[in-house]
Every structure is written in structure tokens, then in C-alpha cells.
Amino acid sequence: MSQVIVVGAGNWGKNLVRNFHQLGALAGVAEANPDLLAQVRAQYPEVQTYADFDSALAADAPALVIATPAFTHHKLALQALEVGKDVFVEKPMTMRTEEARQLAEYADQHQRVLMVGHLLLYQEAIAWMQDYLASGEAGEVLHVATQRLKLGKVRTEENVWWSFAPHDISVVLALLGNPPLESVKAQGQAILQPSIADHVHVDLNFAGGKSAHVHCSWQWPEIQRSTVVVAQRQMLVYNEVTQTVTIYDKGVNPDLSHYDRGDREVKFEDPAPLARECAHFLQCLQTREQPRSNGWNGVAVVEILEKAQDNLL
């Protein structure tokens, strides 16, 4: 049954269009760019198309999937919620914490499904790590460090922090158990364009002494995407490029000596996290359950993004 209209068929929106179409749930596509809209019509001739957001908003489909530029997310998502639609909005959820909180509160008050496109939470390896850490085998998680580095597409409307970091912040929060944020320290360098950071290092401190470090760059010679988890008894390293998690049974004893009981590697195929993310949204539409990456998850991520931005440059 067709249930969703995808708003925005650009670089990432076209992937959402393809996945919802493959799931048999694509009711329509809205795209303001005539060339992109023509491409959609040629590729999906049976799918209803709309040249503007208002037309999509007035359509019968119960849910909108918003994949437009980040600065438009709050306005479009709020309009959709206000007319009774369920909403999937791509990351970052909004550009300001108060805007994100407004969306989450409205969705709760009116029993709407609100989901944020934090794709990494739907990777098989991340879900496995959450379950493994929840088992207690590694002990309490103390610190998470992430790297997201590549020679990437340099943007003029946002810096690398807003472009790359939402992925990793959502993972940091999930692996630490979503503790309250206490403080943020950030440092960035703008090399290619004034005031638009290309390299960013951010340190996060949470309640209970937990901490995290996030490193992002789109001016880097190699693709490096990794997550390191330091727990009481073990350490885990997730290599997103090779789709492996290595468990190191090593650490520091109470007397500050080291122990090393070896390591083991777990391999994941993970061919389609986006398909799982889209299927999860459709499931939530049916069951009315809270999405794994719900509106409040989006609020927590935007809060960190905004506080770090205030400290950059």
C-alpha cells in the first residue's frame, strides 16, 4: 500500500525514493527542480509527482518523507505535522535545538510518528554493538571516539560538522546509553572557505563521567570511518569501511598494569541500512510505536551540533 510522499529528489532524496518504491510504499514525489522532477517521471512513470510542497501536503498520503536542505526541515516538518501527517525528516532534524524540540513536542501531543534519518542506527553492526554492550560482557561504557574523514563534497551552506557529525553523534548517544549532556568543547579549521569549517574536533562530557570525541573532515586523503568504544573490561573498534567489529579483551588493571587476553573479529554484510531504515518507518506507521531514531533522538543530536557550533572558529 502506497503510504509516503518523498519531498526532495536530489542527491540523497533519490535514494529514499528508490527504497520506498522498492518497498511498495511510494505514493508520490515532490520536487521543485524541473529537471529532477523530469528524471523522476521518466524513472517512475506510474508514480504521482508534485512540483511544489503545498501540492504534496494536500495529497491523501498519510506520511511525508522530507529530504530537502537542512534549513527547510523545521518549517516543512511542522507544516506536515499540523495537517495530520506522520513525518520522516532527514538529518540534521533542524538547525536549532528549540526548533527540534518544538517538532518532538508537537508529535507527542498529537500522536504523530516523527522519525529522523540517523542512518547509522540502522546498520547491522551498530545494532549488534548495542546488544553486545547491553549484555554487560564489556562492562560499563566509559568513552566513545568516532572518525568520519574523506575527500568529500565541500558545501557552501553548511560546514563539515553539520554535514558529517549527525551520523556519529547519534551513534555516540546510543552506545553510551543516551546520558544527559554536560559540556561541549569544539575546535575547527576553515581552510577552503572563510567561516566554513573543513576539519572539526569535538569533545563531549556526559553525566556519570562518560565522554566522547568526534573528528570530522571532508578534506582528507583517505576514507576513514570508525567508532572506538572504551569500556571497563573490553574495547571495541568498528570499521565502517570493512564492516567489521573487533573486540579487544584488554585494558588496565586496578594497579595500572595492562592485561591482554586477545581479540576477535565479527564480520557484517550490511548491504542495505537505508532499506532497513525505510522499512522501520513503515512499521512505525502501522504499529504507532516510537521509531528508534524518534524526534527526541533528533533533539539530542541537534543540541550537541548547536552547542559545538557555538564554539567553532
pLDDT in tens for each of the 313 residues of the chain? 679 999 999 999 999 999 999 999 999 999 999 999 999 999 999 999 999 999 999 999 999 999 999 999 999 999 999 999 999 999 999 999 999 999 999 999 999 999 999 999 999 999 999 999 999 999 999 999 999 999 998 888 889 999 999 999 999 999 999 999 999 999 999 999 999 999 999 999 999 999 999 999 999 999 999 999 999 999 999 999 999 999 999 999 999 999 999 999 999 987 789 999 999 999 999 999 999 999 999 999 999 999 999 988 6
How many Å apart are CA 293 and CA 92, to the nearest integer? Answer: 12
Which domains are seen in the chain, by residue range? 4-118+274-294 (3.40.50.720), 121-271+305-309 (3.30.360.10)
| 0.85 surpassed by pTM | yes
Amino acid letter for position 158:
E
Cell of 154: 565541500
Residue 23 sits at φ, ψ, to 5 deg, of -85, 0
Sheet of 258-267: strand order equals 181-189, 199-206, 211-217, 141-149, 224-231, 235-239, 244-252, 258-267
CA distances from 213 to 53, 129, 201, 210, 247 (A): 38, 18, 7, 11, 20
